[in-house]
Structure 1
Amino acid sequence: MDYNSEKIRYYLQNILNLPSPTGNTERVMDFLKEELNALNVPFTVTNKGALIVTLEGKNNEYQRTFSAHVDTLGAMVKGIKSNGALSLVPIGGFMMSSIDGENCTIETLDGTTYTGTIHTTKPSVHISGQEAHDLKRSPENMEVILDEKVSSKSDVEALGINVGDFISFEARTIITEKEFIKSRHLDDKASVAILLYAIQYITENKIELPYTTNFFISNYEEAGHGASASIPIATKEFIAVDMGAPGLDQNSSEFAVCICAKDSSGPYDLWLKKKLIETCKNNNIDYRIDIYPYYGSDASAALRAGWDIKTALIGPGVFSSHAYERTHMDAIISTLDLVVKYSKEN
């Protein structure tokens, strides 16, 4: 394999560190557009803000579409308390305990940003004792403490902060010497980086594609309707590139591409799953097959919306999904290799 791992890391670092909670993804989309322009690769933007790259193949009537979603978990300001703290409401499904003590950024309507930290309403054991330990980590028991000299609701309002402002969690991206990637939002920015590099690799190497192939970067997956509309009309195969979920009693791995047989939306297409597995076997790509009972994807959204397509779900194994996550470059490369190699096959 002649993939440029430094370029992949560049994409990873930049995409992971640009805040993009569902509903506020313009900055990271702008980065993707700049990179595609630098590659001289044309793209279109849907009315809802998704980004689509189309690479022409020999057969334009039968098309393949790979998707990845750039939107992430996050929160919104639900209210401003009398003491100047902010109450919050989650965007996406995550355990509130996973953001206890996390640094965050609040963005106002005019684009001004403020930093803060998410705590429980009883964050100190020196004050609350056992109650601090026992307090349930739920939205009503969590708040944002601003890094500003504020002590009242009016102080906060004077900053321009209001209900409905977006709250982004610090990514804390680290790539270790042994090529572990630790960061929030690997779901699904790792796969966005993979697809961006796949586009670069295919175009720069002038790879002939048997079928016109689309790359659909959605921006509302965590809200459940990312790929429910605007899929290229000739799409017959839709492959969501999201994440595998290693963990207790799971078959997935942080060092391989994971192929989902079934999630909460039901089984994925058997014929397409077999084709992907065959590609892995023929090209010595490390893969795992798994089932995720509490999972849905852009492919799930497309099927619920009524699209008549064959669907699959693949992605790098990501440990501790929807928390502070971890994967490995082996999984990134294996997933990239599957995307590139499958794109070349009839």
Structure 2
Amino acid sequence: MEYNDEKIKYYLKNILTIPSPSGFTEKVMDYIKEELHILNVPYFITNKGAVVITLEGKNKDYERVFSAHIDTLGAMVKSIKSNGTLSFVPVGGFMMNSIEGENCTIETLDGRKITGTIQSIKPSVHISGDEARELKRVPENMEIVIDEKVFSKEDTQKLGIDVGDFVCFSTRTAFTPSGFVKSRHLDDKASAAIILYAIKYLVENSIELPYTTSFFISNYEEVGHGASAALPKNIKEFISVDMGAPGLDQNSSEYAVCICAKDSSGPYDLELRKKLVNICKEQNIPYKIDIYPHYGSDASAALRAGWDIKTALIGTGVFASHGYERTHMEGILSTLDLIIKYCQTE
């Protein structure tokens, strides 16, 4: 089946370049809504700010839901130090060494943007030698050096920076000629772009759906409660479109759709997994089955909240998850193809 690679990349680039750490997602949600308006697709906004798009199918009493989350990792200002630098706390779970030396932007409550760089408190080997190399990378040993001429706490406060301001990391988004996509926050903005394109494809090709199918764009997945509420009332199947995690001793791949058998929340529904695998086999969609011991999804959040649903987890393989990530268009297209085919399967 032919898909428009460039349109997927267009969605992905736009989504990746709009900062959206958990709790700070309004702007990227506005972008999603703009694209849905262009597609003339109905949607509603939950009280928490998630976007739910519903495409009516023949069976309205048995509803399928695909989810992707638009919120990302980030940070928040914890205090302003006496020399004008900032201490911070993480939003979401990541290793401190993965953001060391990264450019960032602090956005104040009144909307001012101030750039900076995340450093350790001993950033120079010429000054600290082995102490700099051996310093434990934990939040209390990290700081943000802002790109303003400040020498004191008062200088920084005059810029409007305050405790609780969000810190957004530079994404360094790049598309290579060989088909790789490199960026922060491919978890899970790659899936958000895939779902946006899937909606476009289904609508523009007037594809008849056997079941009413909704797409849930959540905005609090990274902090654990994204899809815990406001799911469609007739939901029976919930497929979280997130990511696979290639790496040491893992079966996942950047060049395939990854299907999770189990993560930290337990096994996903076996019947649903079999359906997904069988479609991949029948349609020659590259796939990998894997287990992720340190992973949870929006499907996990929905189950914890008490929803009586069958769940599955799929996604393109994302290397170096929660760091500077990488995937490949082959994995993105395989994930898209599985979604499109599953939507048409009874």
SS of residue paired to 2:281:
helix
* CA distance in 2: counterparts of 1:330 and 1:169, whole angstroms: 26
* Amino acid aligned to 1:159: L
* Amino acid aligned to 1:203: V
* CA distance in 1: counterparts of 2:111 and 2:72, whole angstroms: 19
Superposed, which structure 2 residues align to 1:1-346 within 5 Å? 1-346=1-346
- Post-superposition CA distance 1:286-328 (Å, at most 9, x none): 0000000000000000000000000000000000000000000
* Amino acid aligned to 1:128: S
* CA distance in 2: counterparts of 1:144 and 1:196, whole angstroms: 35
Runs of 5+ unmatched residues, structure 1: none
* CA distance in 2: counterparts of 1:282 and 1:107, whole angstroms: 49
- How many residue pairs match? The answer is 346
* Amino acid aligned to 1:341: K
Runs of 4+ in 1 over 4 A off after TM superposition: none
* Amino acid aligned to 1:286: P
SS of residue paired to 1:277:
helix
SS of residue paired to 2:155:
helix
SS of residue paired to 1:62:
strand
For residue 203 of structure 1, report the CA deviation from its aligned partner.
0.1
* CA distance in 1: counterparts of 2:110 and 2:240, whole angstroms: 34
Q: What TM-score do the two structures reach when normalised by structure 1? A: 1.00
* CA distance in 2: counterparts of 1:81 and 1:152, whole angstroms: 8
For residue 257 of structure 1, report the CA deviation from its aligned partner.
0.2
SS of residue paired to 2:332:
helix
Runs of 5+ unmatched residues, structure 2: none
* CA distance in 2: counterparts of 1:37 and 1:162, whole angstroms: 36
* CA distance in 2: counterparts of 1:259 and 1:150, whole angstroms: 50
SS of residue paired to 1:65:
strand
For residue 42 of structure 1, report the CA deviation from its aligned partner.
1.2
- Post-superposition CA distance 1:32-75 (Å, at most 9, x none): 00000011111100000000000000000000000000000000
* CA distance in 2: counterparts of 1:183 and 1:299, whole angstroms: 24
* CA distance in 2: counterparts of 1:226 and 1:234, whole angstroms: 19
SS of residue paired to 2:11:
helix
Q: What TM-score do the two structures reach when normalised by structure 2? A: 1.00
SS of residue paired to 1:127:
helix
- Post-superposition CA distance 1:220-262 (Å, at most 9, x none): 0001000000000101000000000000000000000000000
For residue 2 of structure 1, report the CA deviation from its aligned partner.
1.5
* CA distance in 2: counterparts of 1:233 and 1:281, whole angstroms: 32
SS of residue paired to 2:259:
strand
* CA distance in 1: counterparts of 2:192 and 2:34, whole angstroms: 14
For residue 78 of structure 1, report the CA deviation from its aligned partner.
0.3
- Post-superposition CA distance 1:138-178 (Å, at most 9, x none): 00000000000111100111111000000000000000000
* CA distance in 2: counterparts of 1:185 and 1:314, whole angstroms: 17
* CA distance in 1: counterparts of 2:3 and 2:151, whole angstroms: 53
SS of residue paired to 1:236:
strand
* CA distance in 2: counterparts of 1:64 and 1:157, whole angstroms: 49
Identity %: 72
* Amino acid aligned to 1:145: V
* Amino acid aligned to 2:25: T
* CA distance in 2: counterparts of 1:312 and 1:273, whole angstroms: 6
SS of residue paired to 2:72:
coil
* CA distance in 2: counterparts of 1:96 and 1:126, whole angstroms: 22
* CA distance in 1: counterparts of 2:61 and 2:341, whole angstroms: 21
* Amino acid aligned to 2:325: E
* CA distance in 2: counterparts of 1:240 and 1:231, whole angstroms: 13
* CA distance in 1: counterparts of 2:290 and 2:233, whole angstroms: 30
